[in-house]
Structure 1
Amino acid sequence: MKLIICKIISLLVVSASASVLADSNSDFSVSGEVSAGLINNSALSVDEIDNVSSDSDSGNEIGIQLNAKWLANEKIKVTTGYSYQQQNYNKFSQYDLALHQANVDTSYHLNNGEIGLRLDAATASLATKTFFEFQQATVYYGSFVKPQTYIRTSFKIKNKSFAELSDRDAEALALSTDIFHFINNANTMLMLGVNIEKENAINQAFSFKGAGIASKVSHKFTLFGLGSQIGLDWRYQVKDYLGLQNVGSESEEKTQRDDNGHVITASWSLNILDNLALKTELERGDYSSDLDSLTYKQNVASVGISYQW
């Protein structure tokens, strides 16, 4: 599957370049963002490898994001992006996380909607050591069913690989639908989404069927003459694992594993200058599992600044 995704990425890049070169009227634009801030985490964890600690810590985080957009013609749009995020903790450096992400998205405008193909790739490192790689191909269709309501349905193919935990290497299929509704001259957005997923790992103990629901509301407004935006989102995800897992690291007893998690996130940004914003975020997670080691609560708070161009 990784080979197929790589071939699709190459095909997209070549076709996108050809489309842009073929149309002298095509538009090209570049944008970006850099950010820096402070973070506090009440329960350090690495979800991808089920590493959960009761330790809390604070630290700093930095990020950079670059985007490019080609409007090849009235029908075809190509966007590409790259981002880098890094979190460094003061005491527990083994949880220092670095994440590289890249994507290519090609879409075609239809009379009553838009169809597209998006490729994503990511590499994650813990304490400067790469431990996880991820690739995803997404086919999607979206349309405005009403002037203020947009519906998007997507089908995803995913691939995960781990540097030292190859029994967790997995492929997955997922289907999702999201509804976006805009009011107040598009200053307020309401979103509701549902998804289902089936992941097959090399070790059956890590294979699962999952389902989730997500909702979000965001609102743009002016505060003391400055542009501002607040947001509130809620996510609920359940996973039904298909194999038995050990109850503990030193136990031979096995049990069926089911996980679920509720996450609520509140965010606020304030544009203190035209391109400079102050951002704050609070996140509360409540996770439960048949495995006691994966049942925990987590609070994450961050504050920082970002510059966009």
Structure 2
Amino acid sequence: MKLFFEKMTCIVALTTSSLASATPQSSFKVNGEVGAGLISNSALSVDELDDVSSQSDSGYEFNGVVKGKWHVTDKTKLSSSYAYNKKSYNEFSQYDLALHQLNIDGSYKFNSSEIGVRVDGASASVAGKTFLNYQQVSLYFGYFVQPETYVRTSVKLKNKSFAELSDRDASGFGATLDVFHFMNGANTMLMLGLSAEKEEGQDSQFDYLGLGIHTKITHKFSLFGLDSKVGFGLRFQNKDYQSVEVETFPAGQDIGNRDENRQVIEASWDLHLLDNLSVMTELQHGDFKSQLESQTYQQTIARVGLKYTF
């Protein structure tokens, strides 16, 4: 599986590179952003490790993103980005998280449609120690069903490996369908998405079928002469696990499965103080339910910070 992802990365890179060399009028742009702020978390957790704490803490968060976009021709585009996120807590440093993300995307436009291939890679660490590596390849197709409505579908193959918990190593596949509708001169966006995924682990107790629905609305406006953007989103996800070995989890939880339901509400507000400088605020509340008591909890995360774009 890992070899497959490596080959796909090479194919995308080599194909777009050869197209670029044959197109002297191609254009290339680089931009990015950096941000820093404060974070408050009511229930510290590491989801991929099923590590949920009843402890709350606050700290700081740092973000950085660099993006490159290469218009090889009028219809062919190659883009890539690298993102870094770090959360550091004041008291419980064992929940300090860092995430590196890298992606390459090659696409081709025809008529009102677009088809493309995207390769994603990620590495996550907790308390300064890498615990997870993740790769994903996506094939997507998008088209405007009308000038204000865009539909995008994708199929995905993914692979994840853990540094120490090899039983959790897994591969899987999934599909998504997203609909975007724009109003008010594209200042207002409505989005509705559906997703399905199947994951198979080295240990069958981590096999699951997941179904999800997510929706979001964003609106851009001017407040006291300053550009603003507000957003509100909902996410629902159900994971149907095939089996569970009770001894893997805390004693006293006598159950035969660990199906999960997740509901997350998000609200955000971005206020541009200057052309390149903005204040970011976000509030997120999640209600996580499982037949495992240790995985049933509520979590509220609040963020406020500054972001600079270039």
TM-score, normalised by the number of residues in structure 1? 0.98
Instruction: Indicate the residue corresponding to 1:306 in structure 2.
Output: 307
Residues 136-186 of structure 1: CA distance to partner in whole angstroms, max 9, x if unpaired?
000000000011000000001010110111100000110110000000000
Asked whether the 8 Å contact 1:157–1:174 carries over to 2, the reply is yes
SS of corresponding position for 1:255 = coil
Instruction: Indicate the residue corresponding to 2:101 in structure 1.
Output: 101
1:61-76 alignment, distance < 5 Å: 61-76=61-76
> Which residue identity does 1:261 align to in structure 2?
R
Instruction: Indicate the residue corresponding to 1:202 in structure 2.
Output: 202
C-alpha RMSD of matched pairs (Å): 1.0
Asked whether the 8 Å contact 1:39–1:59 carries over to 2, the reply is yes
1:47-66 alignment, distance < 5 Å: 47-66=47-66
Instruction: Indicate the residue corresponding to 2:26 in structure 1.
Output: 26
Instruction: Indicate the residue corresponding to 2:77 in structure 1.
Output: 77
Asked whether the 8 Å contact 2:255–2:292 carries over to 1, the reply is no
Partners of 1:122 and 1:16 in 2: CA distance: 22
Asked whether the 8 Å contact 1:231–1:267 carries over to 2, the reply is yes
1:252 to partner: Cα distance = 8.3
Partners of 1:120 and 1:251 in 2: CA distance: 39
Higher mean C-alpha displacement, 110-119 vs 267-276: 110-119
1:250 to partner: Cα distance = 3.1
SS of corresponding position for 1:25 = coil
Instruction: Indicate the residue corresponding to 1:115 in structure 2.
Output: 115
Q: In the alignment, does 2:192 pair up with 1:217?
A: no
Partners of 2:226 and 2:119 in 1: CA distance: 36
> Which residue identity does 1:222 align to in structure 2?
S
Instruction: Indicate the residue corresponding to 2:190 in structure 1.
Output: 190
Residues 80-118 of structure 1: CA distance to partner in whole angstroms, max 9, x if unpaired?
000111000000000000100000000011223000000
SS of corresponding position for 1:274 = coil
Instruction: Indicate the residue corresponding to 1:271 in structure 2.
Output: 272
Asked whether the 8 Å contact 1:245–1:257 carries over to 2, the reply is no
SS of corresponding position for 2:10 = helix
> Which residue identity does 1:262 align to in structure 2?
Q
Partners of 2:277 and 2:87 in 1: CA distance: 21
Partners of 2:257 and 2:59 in 1: CA distance: 36
Partners of 1:245 and 1:56 in 2: CA distance: 29
1:14 to partner: Cα distance = 1.6
Higher mean C-alpha displacement, 187-196 vs 238-247: 238-247
> Unaligned stretches of 5+ in structure 1?
none
Instruction: Indicate the residue corresponding to 1:91 in structure 2.
Output: 91
SS of corresponding position for 1:257 = coil
SS of corresponding position for 2:24 = coil
Asked whether the 8 Å contact 2:253–2:292 carries over to 1, the reply is no
> Which residue identity does 1:226 align to in structure 2?
L
Instruction: Indicate the residue corresponding to 1:296 in structure 2.
Output: 297
Partners of 1:252 and 1:180 in 2: CA distance: 43
SS of corresponding position for 2:244 = strand
1:243 to partner: Cα distance = 1.3
Asked whether the 8 Å contact 2:255–2:291 carries over to 1, the reply is no
* % identity of equivalent residues: 51
Residues 207-257 of structure 1: CA distance to partner in whole angstroms, max 9, x if unpaired?
100100000000000011011000000000000000123174235845211
Partners of 1:112 and 1:279 in 2: CA distance: 34
Instruction: Indicate the residue corresponding to 1:161 in structure 2.
Output: 161
TM-score, normalised by the number of residues in structure 2? 0.98
1:175-186 alignment, distance < 5 Å: 175-186=175-186
Residues 31-69 of structure 1: CA distance to partner in whole angstroms, max 9, x if unpaired?
000000000000000111110000000000111100000
Higher mean C-alpha displacement, 5-14 vs 83-92: 5-14
Instruction: Indicate the residue corresponding to 1:129 in structure 2.
Output: 129
Partners of 1:297 and 1:253 in 2: CA distance: 22
SS of corresponding position for 1:244 = coil
1:306 to partner: Cα distance = 0.5
Instruction: Indicate the residue corresponding to 2:10 in structure 1.
Output: 10
Instruction: Indicate the residue corresponding to 1:230 in structure 2.
Output: 230
1:286 to partner: Cα distance = 0.2
1:74 to partner: Cα distance = 1.3
Partners of 2:158 and 2:220 in 1: CA distance: 34
